[in-house]
Amino acid sequence: MASDEAHDLTSVESVQLIRQFQFEKVLNHDTRSKSINILGTINSTPAIVTAEKTAFAAHDEAAIANLLTVENGFPSIRLLDRNDIYRWYMAVLVQDLETSPGAKVSLIWPATKTHVEKYGKQRRRVIRETPELYRKILLPYIEKMRGDRIQWVYNILSHKVEADRIVYENPDPQQGFILLPDLKWDRTTMDSVYLVAIVHRRDIASIRDLNKSHIAWLKSVHSEIIQAATQTYTVISATQLRVYVHYLPSYYHFHIHVTNVEHDAGDGAAVGKAIMLSDLIARLEEMSDEVYGFANSTFTYLLGENSELWKDAYASVID
């Protein structure tokens, strides 16, 4: 997404590209999500690879049964310990790219300094963002983070890229949105469904731009997302979907996250990051302020010390 060259690669070329990755160092790892972020280079240009162990395809009982058969099960297994009726092993599982891949891998190339800092290990701070801090610090930062920085979003909205991944689209330039699988999802495991809805309108960078005039639109989008998701993935009901937004968002064009409630979305669905869209709408309905809306609210969120926002703005004003 960082360059036209990266956008234009075919499937075969993309596979060949990642095979050229040269390891430099581990940026970060997470034992809970079984994921790792690795810094390296491709053609002497910085690149970041993220690898995450995939979930078991529990919906495919035939594949799970095959996983445990004598003939096709564990090609290598070692007993770690035992106690009464309990036994613990380390094992190698049979893997297949179509039905039971070992990992989901993503590549950012060319990677910027901002990417390296974002995916590296960092301490986090609790920020209480008042309306004054929003206007003084966030607004200038948001303007800097729009435009070319989110060209990849505009490419999706104009169908230049990822058009084949679109689950649903309402093409109306003011009311509509595109719904597509988030790249974090393997697009197979229903318990970990992860979709993102990117609105077509460009006047809303974050929830800070929302006011009471947007209530009817937000309700319509929420309903349309639920309907499209449950019609596409029929094994999931409306009450099994978590529909939420981030503040701070990872990019400043309004978008909505949609996940299966069974999916452990980690920090992305945690306090200090995620706000349920239905709760957001309720807060707007309760407001007496007709014009400014959330621009006059106070929000508390977590911010990493590696972030540009912390280094350039908050570090000098917050202990």
> Is 162 annotated to bind ligand?
yes
Whether 263 sits among the annotated catalytic residues: the reply is: no
Indicate if the alpha-carbon torsion angle 260, 166, 10, 173 is positive or negative.
Answer: negative
> Is 253 annotated to bind ligand?
yes
* CA gap 65, 73 in Å, rounded: 9
Other Cβ atoms closer than 10 A to 257: 21
Contact by Cβ (8 Å): 186, 192? yes
> Is 35 annotated to bind ligand?
no
DSSP labels for 199-250? ES-SS-SSGGG--GGGHHHHHHHHHHHHHHHHHHSTT--GGGEEEEEESS-S
> Is 248 annotated to bind ligand?
yes
Q: What are phi and psi of 223, to 5 degrees?
A: -65, -40
Other Cβ atoms closer than 10 A to 19: 8
> Is 254 annotated to bind ligand?
yes
- Sequence-distant (6+) residues with CB within 8 A of 297 are 131, 283
Contact by Cβ (8 Å): 122, 305? yes
> Is 182 annotated to bind ligand?
yes
> Which pair of tokens denotes residue 85?
């009726």
> Is 4 annotated to bind ligand?
no
> Is 246 annotated to bind ligand?
yes
> Is 191 annotated to bind ligand?
no
> Is 184 annotated to bind ligand?
yes
Of the candidates 115, 200, 214, 255, the residue annotated as catalytic is 255
Annotated binding site: 152, 162, 182, 184, 246-257
| Residues tagged in the binding site annotation for substrate | 152, 162, 182, 184, 246-257
Residues marked as catalytic:
255
